[in-house]
Chain A
Amino acid sequence: AQSVTQPDIHITVSEGASLELRCNYSYGATPYLFWYVQSPGQGLQLLLKYFSGDTLVQGIKGFEAEFKRSQSSFNLRKPSVHWSDAAEYFCAVSKAGTALIFGKGTTLSVSS
């Protein structure tokens, strides 16, 4: 069965430092992979997605993610974190033809 694991429940990063959020997936075929961000009290917003092709994908707000098939990973990165990036981040894999399977999320705190 498809599944998504986000190993880090909570991460704290200093403002201006780099960020990497980990995501591992289990899926039998080439997956469709997504990263969403949820600010407090808000709905989810798509940061980026991977379907095929170039394994390094660029998203909004300066985020990028790299698909590594050999490691079943789709880690999210940002070179310099801003205080406004504090939020909860969800990795998701698309189950063919239907809905998304989400990881349990990683909460990002940004310290000054």
Chain B
Amino acid sequence: NAGVTQTPKFRVLKTGQSMTLLCAQDMNHEYMYWYRQDPGMGLRLIHYSVGEGTTAKGEVPDGYNVSRLKKQNFLLGLESAAPSQTSVYFCASSLSGSAHEQFFGPGTRLTVL
């Protein structure tokens, strides 16, 4: 039982490049989330999904897109990376909504030059 895994662990991009971060969970959770963590800012929600085929915007969605084609996977895309997107990205999942614990992946450290 791997829990929540994230691919890749590290990535360096040049401004304007695109990439996709993959999150996978093996706990059969309905809800999945993408957060970014910046120094002194805590974690801020980018997008989330309440089930396969659904997505919704969080607090800081601009510049990101997501897809949830399969229940176990939640993809975060950057179409044209900017230096302001340099951050650590965390994926999380939960059985359902607010009353349930969120389980976090180990994070992806992204640097945009």
Which residues of A are at the interface with B, using a C-beta cutoff of 8 A? Answer: 9, 32, 34, 36, 41-46, 49, 51, 90, 94-105
Q: Given that A102-B42, A102-B43, A104-B41 are contacting pairs, would A97 and B98 also be in contact in the complex, using a CB cutoff of 8 Å?
A: yes
Contacts of A94 in B (CB 8 A): 97-99
Which residues of B are at the interface with A, using a C-beta cutoff of 8 A? Answer: 4, 33, 40-45, 48, 50, 56, 58, 90, 92, 97-99, 101-102, 104-107
Interface of A is mostly: loop
Q: Which of A32, A44, A101 contacts B99 (CB under 8 A)?
A: A32
Chain A residue at smallest Cβ distance from B96: A97
Contacts of A34 in B (CB 8 A): 101
Contacts of A100 in B (CB 8 A): 43, 45, 102
Q: Is the CB of A43 within 8 A of B42?
A: no
Contacts of A97 in B (CB 8 A): 97-98
Q: Is the CB of A98 within 8 A of B97?
A: yes
* Bound Cα distance from A101 to B35, whole angstroms: 10
Chain B residue at smallest Cβ distance from A52: B99
Q: Given that A49-B101, A51-B99 are contacting pairs, would A99 and B45 also be in contact in the complex, using a CB cutoff of 8 Å?
A: yes
Most buried by A among B42, B44, B45, B104: B42
Q: Is the CB of A90 within 8 A of B99?
A: no
